[in-house]
């Protein structure tokens, strides 16, 4: 009989070594299409990791299936490329078994909002300590160009040759609907913004959800260009900053104001700066954040990026582990011989 | 037992089979359970068969709502809940109508006369009252006004008549306890503990029990009173155990033996849910239970926990196993330890959720896409579920593979006395994880290759958190050795063969032939048919005829001597609760003319059914010779 090990509890005696991007890059050839937005996301991550001051061996990337899901192969960390849609489930088990690890979940819009939608919303609902990055390119890339659950109505694809008849999911709205405790949006054209969002996701205790608007230059090229290209960004991206009035435009001439029907875009000069909504990512009620997520229905109107919501709430894995510790503190460690005699017994 | 009733009044019998049947709301499972526990503490050998509808409360009084519990008690070693009950307790007309056919001819029928009114008779589909006339002429009928006597007994306690009505199952229990000379004390103690703080309920249940007991004594039922003495079981400490509890405890034991924390990912499904309930109680053992959003998440989370270094388990029944197929294939490809427990039930689809069947063998063996081999083991009795859970965990952790453990609804809910093992005698499960490089790259640097196999073709596992051994694994085909993604044709063929050989070469104990090695007929069993086959073989041999049997605990890989054993008998009979799934495997693997014996009724085989089938074949064999 040996004592049951608790693999997550040993202490790190040594300081975290200094690392560079090279230390976080695996020896595998990156096999995304040339020009894919995934390259810039990978670069952002590999450059961010040395700054976070974490250990490679304590970092795990878990993915499902799709172009985005190849991500773990390129990070010199631990990693599992699982099956379609199930990455949040596998990652939940790992996070519960090993609270000492930083677990990142990578997937695309088909992976996490279609086949794996159930796992995503439940991981967010439970608030498992996972950093979930959803690379949204509004298309199925690896299967070569079918509409996805985020494709716009009317979209012509190989599986919707005369236009898509269903309406899309808004990933931020879905995450907020599940009352995710950390919800953010960024895009593949702005490395610094991506890194800031990934850092915030890493620092958040609980499930962090980051939608990364990502260009698929082969099957859906330029779908976000109307909002993410450098020359339109000032007018088309609404940069959410905690504690600051929500303003955008080259002269900060536009803003977001609250109306009875929800938040709307206004001209600051018309309503006055005092009517502009001051962004507060810490409001527990997700309604305002949800309303912000509804500002842009398609990538053709001004679209908020940044942190929509970041609240403290009980993290799942630590709560589960705490229950076990409490029971063990009350009853002591279980004894097998006693367990076998816990029902009525008799002697022969 | 001090309160063992005066045995001299009672006739001694070797065994008895009692069946309690009533409406789902009548508490028949509880009644049977209490009778069983009193018998266990008394020292009988026993075996039980709970049978209940899938609906929590089907319309009261209807045939669909009948819930029954059969218990077989004896003064000798028994292996089944019995062929036909000697006594049937029918709490209402529906129970009489649905279960009368089970009663042995001339058996004793005890009915609650109060329920045989026009309304209940109509609900049961009777156009007349079977208690009047000749319907029950072939039986010894005891009509008791259980409801009204119970209400009378509870009157002075301040219990409302409607509440007193709920205690009538304790009246039946009291009456049967008198008839079979059961000790009273364990039931009284149990009532006190179960309903602690509810004095009225305690009072009503005890009053009902005592009224039933007294009814037996005073109503001149002396002729029916019997005693089944204790069975000469091996010395030691016993407890009465059902399969799902034993399986849960076996998993806890495997965790202790391996030194790995136990992680269960599960989704509620009948008849597997009780394992989730049981393991959720054992946090003191460091057990983590996760009730997932669906079956796929349950197995997915277990795979994640296994990757993190836990002893990972997922529990389900047939429909859930179907959903888990792709993820189990991932565990096959990742070569991670995982125990997949399937408590089989009637199928296909929702099928018979609360009834037993063993028709998932093919799914266990082949229910994944691609060449996706994994070991399969099956439990034979409720208490064997403890050992089989340890065995499945041992194979999973030793060979880094998912293992399918098959049980079924009959074993899950049925119970038997279990001689408790000495925990010090349980063999530790050795687990080692990689901590060092195992290969050198072109630059002469140490690297970790996750698919560099040992002499048993088992790959090393480096847990996340292990410095320097960072590596990536996935469901895409991997290069032999390095584990890097590979689409190379020759490599894929090599990996398919390596996965196949690794599982096929897992050592499995040889079969032992029970019975007459020189018999002409061999009966081959797997899973829960063990009890009925063993009972049948004993009867045939007691009658002076020759027959042999073997039982397969390991269904993949199969024991190495199985082919020789099969070929050394003229005829091979394979009783299965399916249409012949093991038969197909035996015929395909060994080219033997094995013959199926099927039963698809949602119920286990009785020993009598198998005895009959053996007898027929022996007669044919003898006829062929003459």
Torsion of CA B560, B564, B566, B568, to 10 degrees: -160
Task: Determine which of B334, B393, B465 to mutate to test the interface with A (most A C-beta atoms within 10 Å).
Answer: B465
Same domain, residue pair B176 and B281: no
Interchain contact, B307 vs A2, CB within 8 Å: no
The CATH number of residue A138's host domain is: 3.40.50.970
Chain A to chain B, count of Cβ pairs less than 8 Å apart? 235
Assign A25 to helix, strand or coil: strand
Same domain, residue pair B221 and B95: yes
b/e per residue, A213-252, with b = 16+ CB within 10 A?
Answer: bbbbbbbbeebbeebbeeeebeebbbebeeeebbbbbeee
- The answer to whether A284 touches A275, Cβ cutoff 8 Å, is no
Q: Residues 325..384 of B with a Cβ closer than 8 Å to A: which?
A: 326-327, 329-330, 334
Same domain, residue pair B488 and B360: no
The model's pLDDT over B244-253, given as tens digits with 9 standing for 90+, comes to 999 999 999 9
Chain B residues touching residue A327 (CB < 8 angstroms): 283-284
Chain A residues touching residue B40 (CB < 8 angstroms): 344, 346
Q: Which of B368, B395, B425 is the last residue of a domain?
A: B425
Two tokens at B206?
A: 């005890």
Is B436 near chain A, with CB under 8 Å? no
Is B471 near chain A, with CB under 8 Å? yes
- The answer to whether B24 touches B65, Cβ cutoff 8 Å, is yes
Average pLDDT over residues A249-258: 96
Give the domain extent around A42.
21-223+315-340
Confidence band of A104 (pLDDT split at 50, 70, 90): very high
The Cα B150–Cα B169 span in angstroms is 9
**Domain count across chain A:** 1
Give the domain extent around B452.
432-506
State residue B450's pLDDT score: 98
Closest CA in chain A for residue B265: A93
State residue A9's pLDDT score: 52
Share of chain B above pLDDT 90, in %: 91
Question: What angle separates helix B185-194 from helix B28-42, to the nearest 10 degrees?
Answer: 130
Is B300 near chain A, with CB under 8 Å? yes
Q: What is the mean pLDDT of chain A?
A: 95
Strand ranges in B553-603 using DSSP code E only, listed in sequence order: 554-556, 571-576, 594-598
Domain-embedded: residue A59: yes
The model's pLDDT over B553-563, given as tens digits with 9 standing for 90+, comes to 999 999 999 99
Confidence band of B7 (pLDDT split at 50, 70, 90): very low
Strand ranges in chain A using DSSP code E only, listed in sequence order: 59-63, 78-81, 102-108, 130-136, 182-187, 208-213, 237-240, 247-248, 254-259, 262-267, 303-310, 345-347
Least confident of A162-166, B10-14, B389-393, B532-536: B10-14
Share of chain B above pLDDT 70, in %: 98
The model's pLDDT over A178-222, given as tens digits with 9 standing for 90+, comes to 999 999 999 999 999 999 999 999 999 999 999 999 999 999 999
Average pLDDT over residues B469-484: 97
In 3D space, the residue among A20, A313, A6, A42 whose CA is nearest the CA of residue A183 turns out to be A313
Whether the pLDDT of residue B6 is over 50: the answer is no
In 3D space, the residue among A81, A27, A19, A13 whose CA is nearest the CA of residue A53 turns out to be A19
The model's pLDDT over B73-85, given as tens digits with 9 standing for 90+, comes to 999 999 999 999 9
**Domain count across chain B:** 4
The Cα A178–Cα A169 span in angstroms is 13
- The answer to whether B594 touches B583, Cβ cutoff 8 Å, is yes
The Cα B70–Cα B83 span in angstroms is 10
Same domain, residue pair B218 and B154: yes
Task: Determine which of A337, A346, A347 to mutate to test the interface with B (most B C-beta atoms within 10 Å).
Answer: A346
Between the CA of residue B279 and those of A92, B262, B284, what are the distances in Å?
A: 19, 9, 10
Q: What is the pTM assigned to this prediction?
A: 0.94
Interchain contact, A83 vs B330, CB within 8 Å: yes
Interchain contact, A344 vs B186, CB within 8 Å: yes
Minimal Cβ distance to A348: which of B235, B262, B306: B235
Task: Determine which of A27, A93, A116 to mutate to test the interface with B (most B C-beta atoms within 10 Å).
Answer: A93
Closest CA in chain A for residue B266: A93
Same domain, residue pair B284 and B192: no
Backbone torsions φ then ψ of B586, nearest 5 degrees = -65, -40
Torsion of CA B320, B321, B325, B326, to 10 degrees: 30
Domain-embedded: residue A310: no
The model's pLDDT over B381-439, given as tens digits with 9 standing for 90+, comes to 999 999 999 999 999 999 999 999 999 999 999 999 999 999 999 999 999 999 999 99
In 3D space, the residue among A260, A316, A266, A310 whose CA is nearest the CA of residue A289 turns out to be A310
Chain B residues touching residue A2 (CB < 8 angstroms): 256-259, 428
The DSSP result for A151-166, as a single string, is: SPTT--BTTBTT---S
Average pLDDT over residues A79-90: 98
Domain-embedded: residue A124: yes
Confidence band of B198 (pLDDT split at 50, 70, 90): very high
Interchain contact, A327 vs B283, CB within 8 Å: yes
Which residues face B451 on adjacent strands?
B481
**Torsion over CA: B271, B272, B278, B281 (sign):** negative
State residue B4's pLDDT score: 44
State residue B222's pLDDT score: 59
The Cα A44–Cα A41 span in angstroms is 5
In 3D space, the residue among B202, B137, B211 whose CA is nearest the CA of residue B172 turns out to be B211
Q: Which of B449, B481, B506 is the last residue of a domain?
A: B506
Whether the pLDDT of residue A11 is over 60: the answer is no
Domain-embedded: residue B232: no
Q: What is the mean pLDDT of chain B?
A: 95
Contacts of A78 (CB under 8 A, 6+ apart): A57, A59, A60, A61, A101, B464, B465, B470, B471, B472
Chain B residues touching residue A6 (CB < 8 angstroms): 261, 286
Whether the pLDDT of residue A276 is over 70: the answer is yes
The model's pLDDT over B572-582, given as tens digits with 9 standing for 90+, comes to 999 999 999 99
Closest CA in chain B for residue A333: B284
Domain-embedded: residue B136: yes
Same domain, residue pair B602 and B496: no
């Amino acid at each position: 009989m040996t004592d049951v090990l608790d693999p997550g509890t040993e202490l790190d005696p040594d300081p975290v070594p200094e690392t560079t991007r090279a230390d976080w890059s695996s020896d595998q050839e990156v096999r995304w299409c040339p020009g894919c937005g995934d390259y810039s996301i990978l670069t952002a991550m590999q450059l961010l990791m040395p700054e976070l001051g974490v250990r490679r061996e304590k970092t795990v990337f878990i993915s499902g299936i799709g172009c985005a899901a190849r991500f773990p192969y390129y990070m010199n960390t631990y990693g599992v490329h699982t099956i379609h849609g199930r990455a949040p489930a596998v990652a939940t088990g790992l996070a519960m078994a090993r609270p000492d690890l930083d677990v990142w979940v990578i997937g695309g819009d088909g992976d996490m909002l279609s086949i794996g939608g159930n796992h995503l919303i439940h991981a967010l609902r439970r608030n498992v300590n996972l950093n979930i990055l959803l690379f949204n390119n509004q298309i199925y890339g690896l299967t070569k160009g079918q509409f996805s659950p985020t494709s716009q109505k009317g979209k012509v694809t190989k599986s919707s040759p005369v236009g898509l008849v269903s309406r899309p999911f808004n990933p931020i709205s879905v995450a907020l609907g599940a009352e995710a405790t950390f919800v953010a949006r960024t895009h593949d054209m702005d490395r610094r913004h991506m890194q800031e969002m990934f850092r915030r996701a890493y620092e958040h205790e609980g499930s962090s959800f980051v939608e990364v608007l990502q260009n698929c230059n082969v099957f859906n090229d330029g779908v976000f260009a109307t909002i993410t290209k450098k020359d339109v960004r000032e007018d088309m991206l609404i940069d959410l900053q905690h504690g600051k009035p929500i303003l955008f435009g080259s002269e900060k001439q536009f803003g977001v104001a609250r109306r009875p029907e929800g938040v709307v875009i206004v001209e600051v000069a018309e309503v006055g700066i005092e009517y502009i909504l001051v962004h507060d990512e810490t409001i527990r009620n997700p309604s305002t954040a949800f309303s912000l997520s509804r500002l842009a229905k398609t990538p053709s109107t001004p679209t908020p990026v940044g942190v929509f919501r970041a609240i403290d709430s009980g993290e799942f894995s630590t709560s589960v582990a705490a229950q076990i510790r409490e029971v063990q503190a009350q009853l002591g460690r279980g004894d097998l011989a006693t367990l076998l005699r816990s029902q009525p017994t008799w002697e022969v | 037992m001090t309160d063992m009733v005066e045995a001299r009044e009672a006739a001694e019998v070797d065994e008895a089979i009692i069946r309690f049947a009533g409406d789902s709301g009548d508490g028949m499972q509880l009644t049977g359970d209490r009778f069983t526990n009193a018998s266990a503490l008394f020292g009988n050998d026993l075996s039980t068969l709970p049978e209940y509808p899938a609906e929590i409360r089907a319309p009261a009084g209807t045939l669909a709502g009948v819930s029954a519990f059969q218990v077989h008690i004896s003064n000798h070693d028994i292996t089944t809940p019995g062929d036909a009950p000697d006594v049937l307790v029918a709490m209402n007309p529906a129970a009489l109508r649905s279960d009368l056919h089970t009663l042995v001819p001339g058996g004793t029928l005890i009915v609650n006369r109060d329920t045989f009114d026009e309304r209940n008779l109509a609900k049961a589909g009777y156009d007349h009252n079977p208690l009047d006339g000749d319907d029950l002429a072939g039986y010894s009928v005891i009509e008791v006004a259980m409801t009204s006597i119970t209400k009378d007994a509870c009157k002075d306690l301040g219990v409302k008549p409607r509440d007193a009505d709920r205690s009538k199952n304790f009246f039946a229990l009291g009456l049967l306890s008198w008839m079979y000379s059961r000790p009273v004390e364990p039931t009284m103690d149990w009532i006190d503990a179960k309903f602690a703080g509810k004095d009225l309920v305690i009072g009503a249940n005890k009053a009902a029990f005592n009224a039933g007991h007294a009814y037996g004594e005073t109503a001149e039922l002396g002729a029916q009173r019997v005693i089944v003495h204790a069975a000469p079981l091996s010395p030691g400490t016993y407890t009465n155990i059902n399969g799902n509890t034993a399986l849960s405890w076996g998993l806890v034991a495997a965790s202790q033996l391996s030194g790995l924390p136990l992680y269960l990912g599960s989704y509620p499904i009948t008849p597997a849910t009780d394992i989730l309930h049981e393991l959720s109680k054992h946090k003191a053992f460091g057990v983590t239970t996760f009730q997932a959003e669906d079956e796929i998440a349950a197995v997915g989370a277990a795979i994640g926990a296994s990757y993190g270094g836990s002893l990972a388990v997922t529990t389900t029944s047939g429909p859930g196993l179907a959903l888990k197929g792709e993820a189990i294939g991932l565990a096959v490809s990742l070569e991670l330890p995982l125990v997949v427990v399937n408590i089989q039930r009637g199928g296909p689809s929702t099928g018979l959720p609360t009834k037993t069947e063993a028709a998932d063998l093919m799914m266990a063996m082949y229910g994944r896409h691609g060449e996706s081999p994994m070991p399969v083991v099956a439990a034979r009795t409720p208490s064997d579920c403890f050992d089989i859970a340890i065995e499945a965990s041992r194979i999973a952790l030793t060979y880094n593979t998912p293992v399918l453990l098959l049980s079924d609804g009959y074993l899950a809910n049925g119970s038997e006395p279990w001689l408790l093992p000495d925990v010090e005698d349980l063999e530790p499960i050795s687990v080692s994880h990689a901590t060092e490089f195992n290969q050198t790259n072109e630059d002469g640097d140490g690297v970790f290759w996750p698919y560099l196999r040992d002499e048993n073709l088992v790959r090393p596992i480096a847990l996340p958190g292990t410095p320097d051994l960072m590596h990536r694994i996935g469901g895409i085909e991997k290069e032999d050795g390095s584990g890097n993604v590979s689409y190379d044709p020759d490599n894929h063929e090599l990996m398919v063969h390596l996965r196949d050989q690794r599982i096929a070469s897992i050592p499995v104990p040889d079969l032992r032939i029970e019975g007459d090695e020189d018999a002409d007929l061999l009966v081959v069993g797997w899973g829960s048919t063990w009890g009925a086959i063993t009972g049948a073989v004993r009867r045939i041999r007691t009658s002076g005829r020759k027959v042999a049997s073997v039982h397969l605990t390991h269904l993949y890989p199969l024991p190495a001597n199985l082919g020789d054993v099969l070929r050394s008998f003229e005829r091979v009979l394979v009783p299965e609760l399916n249409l012949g799934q093991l038969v197909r495997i035996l015929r395909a693997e060994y080219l033997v003319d094995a013959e199926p014996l099927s039963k698809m009724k949602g119920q286990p085989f009785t020993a009598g059914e198998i005895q009959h089938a053996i007898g027929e074949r022996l007669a044919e064999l003898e006829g062929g010779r003459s």
